[in-house]
Structure formats: structure tokens, C-alpha cells
Amino acid sequence: MTYQIKEMSWTEFDRRRKETDMVIVPTGAVEIYGPHLPMGSDGFAAMGISEMVAQRTGALIAPMLDLAESSALLAYPGTLTVTQEFYLQYLDLLMKNLVGYGFQKFLFISGHAANVAPIGYMARKYQLDHGIQWAQVDWWRFAALHGEDIFQAKGRMAHGHASECDTSVLLYFRPDLVHMEEATCVTPDEGYYDYPDIMRFTPMDLKSPNATVGDATLGTAEKGEQIAKRCVERIVSFIQEKWNTQ
């Protein structure tokens, strides 16, 4: 049985939207992700988690927001980026449609860090104007919070861009798109990460020769399965406790 709205006929959707008022909105990006991972990694991870949560809760899954504001990752060929203004307009129209079909609980699974702020802004707007309930999971940061004992490396060597965690999750969800023979270990200059309390921007090509930050060679499907299942348990616990959804 599918949980993705775009895979349903309109009659199936009409029936199933009356069985739940919860919708999951996965968001990703298309950007450089090391030489071994697909550029859609953020979205593949977000959709994989969304599917697991939907199977546990019965929620429906909105169409993936594939593109994002990814200008920070234009250092190498492949990144596709849209403006923040376009992203907000698209999200606004999607949510307007979903609210119109009766959805009142919105769970955003955000696979790309730059999506978090605009989603938070628009979700707050719909909360105030339409009374929705919402929650957002900033996927890669969420995984870092809950996977300290799962990954062999620590800090950004495990959770940097296209590193151990990212590689493990993609090996679990989309092993057909991962090329481990191309995986590398890139230890970034710590000078780019000092003063973490002061925000600044360092282009990817200064931090890495191939868009990997950390040790991708340590990734395994087993670690990906462990972190995915642990994080889904946490998300489902929140839904059951806070939204009274079984």
C-alpha cells in the first residue's frame, strides 16, 4: 500500500484523506554530495524516513520538494538551486492545497539545512492563520543528536557533508545509487570551524576537494538502518504523545 499522494488515484486519495488529518512533507535538495553519493541524497533520506513514519502512523506523504536554495554548494558542477522567495511561494501553495483537503497536522522531514528556516516561517504562518499543528525534523542534525554510539567517527568526521552518517543512510535507503569505491576521507582545516558562535560562510571548495567533509569510507548499511530506526522511534513517540495519533 502506498502512502504517497502522487501515487494514488483521486478516488483512493479522497477516501484516505478522510482517515487521517496528518500529512508528512519531505524536502530535499539537488546538490554536490561527494564523488560517491547521488546529488539527491537529502531528498532520498527525507523520503525514506517519511515512508517509515507513514507506515507507523497512517499519515499521507505530500510530493517531495526536490529543489532548494543551495547556492552554498555551487563550487562543483551539478548543484541546482532556487531562490528563497520561490521556495516560500511554492511551499505556501502546497500547504494551501493540503489544508484545503482537510490536513491539520503537518510533519516536515527536512533533508537540507537551508530548508529549515523558510519551512518554520511558513508553518508558523499557517498555525496562526489556519490553526494547524506542525513539527519539523532537521534530518541530518537530528541524526547527529541520536547517533553518537552508532558511528565510528565523531563530530563532523561522522556528520560532515557526505560523511559516515550520510553514506550509511544512503546505503540503507538507496544502495543502488552509492559508489563506495569512490568514497573518501577528507579532514577539513579546523580554522574553518573555529568561532562556532559567530556565523560565517566558507565555500565548499575551500573545505574539500570533492564535496566530502569527514570520513565517508566508514559508512555501512547496518549503521544506516540503526540510525533510521532509532530516529523514527523518536518521531513516532512525539506524534503519539503530542498529537494523540496511534
Residue 81: count other Cβ atoms within 10 Å of its Cβ: 18
| Local structure of 7: helix, strand or coil | helix
Q: What's the whole-number average pLDDT of the chain?
A: 96
- pLDDT tens, 112-149? 999 999 999 999 999 999 999 999 999 999 999 999 99
pLDDT at 190: 85
Specify the pLDDT at position 193.
84
At residue 2, does pLDDT exceed 80?
yes
For the chain, domains (ranges, CATH) are: 5-242 (3.40.50.10310)
Residue closest to 144 by CA, chosen among 122, 161, 129, 124: 161
CB-based burial, 164-177: b 16+ in 10 Å, e otherwise: bbbbbbbbbbbeee
Is the pLDDT assigned to residue 246 strictly greater than 70?
no
Burial label for 118, CB within 10 Å (0-12, 13-18, 19+), is buried
**In angstroms, rounded to a whole number, what is the distance separating the alpha carbons of residues 140 and 163?**
11
Residue 195 falls in which region: left (phi positive, over 0), alpha (psi -120 to 50) or beta: left
Pairing, β 133-138 against β 185-186: unpaired
SS3 state at 26: strand
Residue 192: pLDDT over 90: no
Q: List pLDDT tens digits, range 202-241.
A: 889 989 999 999 999 999 999 999 999 999 999 999 999 9
Per-residue pLDDT tens for 67-93? 999 999 999 999 999 999 999 999 999
State the Cα torsion 150-67-204-165 to the nearest 10°. Answer: 10
- Tens digit of each residue's pLDDT (9 = 90 or more) over 144-156: 999 999 999 999 9
* pTM more than 0.95: yes
